[in-house]
Amino acid sequence: MTTSYRPVAAALLALCWMPLANALTLVEAGKSSYVIHLAEDAPASVQAAVRDLQKYLAQATGAKLAVVNAPTPAMISIGDTPAARQAGIVAAELPWEGYRIATRGKVLFVVGRDTGKDERAPGGGVSNGTRNGVSTFLEDYVGVRWLMPGENGDYVPKQATLSIPEVDTTAAPFFRNRRLPYTQERKAVVKTWWARQKLGVELALSHGHNWRRSIPPEHFDAHPDWFAEAGGKRMTPSGRYKLCLTNEGMIDEFARVAGAWFDTHPAGTFSLSPSDSAGWCTCKRCEAMYEDDPHGKLSVTPAVIHFYNEVAKRTAAFHPKRILAGYVYAQYVYPPKKPIPLHANVFLVWAPSFDYGFTLFRPELQKQWDALAPQWTAVTENIAYYDLPNCVHNGAGAPNPPGAKILKFLYPRLKQHRMKGVYVYGTSAWGHAALMNYLLAKLDWDPDADVDAVFDEFCEKAYGKGGEEMKRFYRLLDAETERYFIAHEEETYNLSSGRTKDVYAANFPELERLYQAADGKITDPAAKARLATLGTNLAILHWNLRQYNFLKNPTASIFHMADAPFLAFMGEHKDSLAVAPPSRRNRAKLPKGKL
């Protein structure tokens, strides 16, 4: 035992390290004798967890607990402290990103596996186990919910007295990489929401389209053979940026670029993923590897896997344990007909593009998904998942159905097939998609979460007395979207004019009625404000529907605005989390017409 440890050990003699005993009363009638204890050198993530704990306990009970570095007999000890280790709660024994919540005598411990500054977990990412544990404690024992980012996003029930039962529980996420992209996550409030929802990256995976950056077009003059051939000629690289998958010189250069990146980045992965769209090389060596997919269409999977393997072999000579990630997607979404051993350093990211945007409502696509998933997991254990199965990215204010049936289908299977990570799109307009984003966050942590229970919880806590109306609002959208996708095989993830008219315009009067009914019942100001963010989107949707004569009596709506006031209204909300930021991705796919 070191000298610096002895004073702490002496202080621990006063603490009751005894078998689990009675419940702890942390706060009674708004008063508390407890403090929050953390190590003086605690990582930044643990310090953030302590701030959350102090903040939400004060909001819930009225008692603001002091934060101290020295242990006391009555304390909430947060993170890896000598006191926790003396009690037999050892952070290093926990799973990465995992935590343990335990009572010992009058002390509550919340301890997680944490990485410090400049430290990385085995997967190249970071571990914020203690913060995950504090979030769980605040949810399970205090009743806090982070419904959406921002000023009115928190739900904190009031309770002057807070007691917790004796407890000793350990938990960790199933997925090692949990991200919820396209949620305006560059904004600080969304980053904080991510952390509170226990999203995280112990396994760092970079898998974006990376061919143009790795082999830029400037190489074409000296090395035209590195680029795709079409009609017997090497093609000047352009929008469909394709390389020759079998060219040894190109593979050597790609490996050199990857190795140089690894030289300067001690953690993280390098992406091998091809550029989007078609335009694959038709040279004899590449074409010899191509095959037909189960539908008789081109599959370039064997050539892509060959490219991944060859780059990995070369890179491994200098960086034997570094991961290279690559999509299996689009024209390489189907496994090769003949098994191809995968290099140990290659990490696949399966992106079943055939199921994007509510198409998993279709039974035949569920069968296709079920047939393919085990084929890919038989190829490798190094596989993560990428999808946009239930989002309707749009700037037209069209509310996002949660896709509850799809989530019930998908997430248990991701666990069953032992996917190591999930990169499932959220939606940037929190005013209409907070429910969907919340569901995805909960499933990212626990793929066995009860979708219906989470759905109900969100509506009841987000919208208070108007919760029942909002359940009907989103269930109507789900039912109508499912009906449309089954009836229209041509519909994809883009919001078409047909779906806009048949789902959103046809049901707008009922959606408005449910919104008004909820608004009339809600008395809580925060719940009122949350509902208003949906109203902002319904106003945008109404204006868009009106432009194309999709509404029978537009002026009768509470959301009706003439063009000039509407444009001013949009200016007021341009930086809001409630609405979709202007971008090509969020433009509505509506027919042209007069304004």
Q: Provide the percentage of residues in the chain whose pLDDT is more than 90.
A: 91
Predicted confidence (pLDDT) at residue 14 exceeds the cutoff of 50: no
Q: What is the architecture, at CATH level 2, of domain 3-172?
A: 2-Layer Sandwich (3.30)
pLDDT at 1: 25
pLDDT given for residue 3 in this prediction: 29
What separation in angstroms does the CA of 191 have from each of 179, 206, 436?
11, 18, 17
- Quick: pLDDT tens for 432-451: 999 999 999 999 999 999 99
pLDDT average, residue stretch 491-497: 94
- Kindly give the pairing relationship between strand 35-37 and strand 346-351: unpaired
DSSP bridge pairs for 270: 324
- Give bridge partners of residue 348 from the DSSP assignment: 326, 383
> pLDDT-derived band of residue 582, with 50, 70 and 90 as boundaries?
confident
Give the integer Cα–Cα distance in Å for 349 and 370.
17
Band of pLDDT at residue 19, cut at 50, 70 and 90? very low
430-445 vs 525-547: helix crossing angle, rounded to 10? 120
Residue 199: predicted pLDDT: 99
Residue 22, number of CB atoms within 10 A of its CB: 11
Q: For the segment 473-489, what is each residue's pLDDT rounded down to a tens digit?
A: 999 999 999 999 999 99
More confident site: 20 or 292: 292
Under a CB-based contact definition with an 8 Å cutoff, are residues 261 and 323 in contact?
no
Give the CA count within 13 Å in the CB-facing half-sphere of 255: 23
Q: Which residues contact 199 (CB under 8 A, 6 or more apart)?
A: 178, 179, 180, 441, 444, 445
| pLDDT tens per residue across span 103-134 | 999 999 999 999 999 999 999 999 999 999 99
H/E segment holding residue 348: strand 346-351
Q: Is the pLDDT of residue 496 over 50?
A: yes
Worst-scoring range by mean pLDDT, 132-136, 179-183, 353-357?
353-357
- In the chain, residues under CATH classification 3.30.379.10 are 3-172
**Residue 153 clears pLDDT 80, i.e. is over it:** yes
Encoded tokens for 365: 């696509």
Q: Which two tokens stand for residue 451?
A: 């979708």
Say if residue 13's pLDDT is above 90.
Answer: no
Q: What's the confidence (pLDDT) of residue 583?
A: 66
